[in-house]
Chains A and B, each alone.
Chain A
Amino acid sequence: MTSDMRVTFQEELQQVEAALQEEGDYVLRALRAAVNALEQADAELADEVIAFDDEIDSRYLSIQEGIQSLLARQTPVAVDLRLVLALLHANLHLERMGDYCVTIAKLTKLVADEKPDEGLVQAFEEMGQRPSK
């Protein structure tokens, strides 16, 4: 790799990493909202979580395309390749977390009229609060 290509590669890598951080922030927002919707049996908030997933999907696709482009044009090796593959993997998992928030939101809507079980809600709250810290 020439030094100019190397600089470009590092810059592009930083852009992808920044986008991944942003995607993570979006997932955190979705998770907090999904847990709040569940706790408060708030169907309206659940709808917002479902709609918000499009934002996460959009970032996921953008990062995916960025990584594919990096792999095709820069053919990274060794530590660079491991980093790119880690980004690819993390991107996939973050997008999936967004999908799980949608599942929670849809289930919240399904049981919105049911009387909540306090013990269960408490356990869900704890499970939801820890990842979102």
Chain B
Amino acid sequence: MIRIALDSFQRRDLSGASSLVDLDELIDRANRRAVERVLDFADDQSKREWACG
């Protein structure tokens, strides 16, 4: 994705640059999954304590 961004910039390639919007969507989804996973930890007393330490 970083390569696509840099190549698009170098070639002044508008469609390549536009494709990054959809790729970012996939990262946003993965991030959401990670956040939900972290929120699940909130139920675990020992892990919550570790995170606060």
A120 within 8 A of B: yes
The chain B residue with its CB closest to the CB of A27 is: B2
B34 and A28 within 8 A (CB):
no
Is A130 in contact with B30, judged by CB distance below 8 angstroms? yes
Contact A130 B1 (CB under 8 A): yes
A interface secondary structure, majority: helix
Per the 8 Å Cβ criterion, residues 4-53 of B in contact with A are 4-6, 9-10, 23, 26-27, 30-31, 33-34, 37-38, 41, 50
Instruction: Please count how many residues in chain B sit with their CB below 8 Å of the partner chain's CB atoms.
Output: 19
User: Does A73 touch B at the CB level, under 8 Å?
Assistant: no
Q: Which residues of B contact A124 (CB under 8 A)?
A: 34
Q: How far is the CB of A107 from chain B (nearest CB, A)?
A: 12
User: Chain A: residues with CB nearer than 8 A to chain B?
Assistant: 17, 20-21, 24, 27-28, 31, 86, 90, 97, 114, 117, 119-120, 123-124, 126-127, 130-133
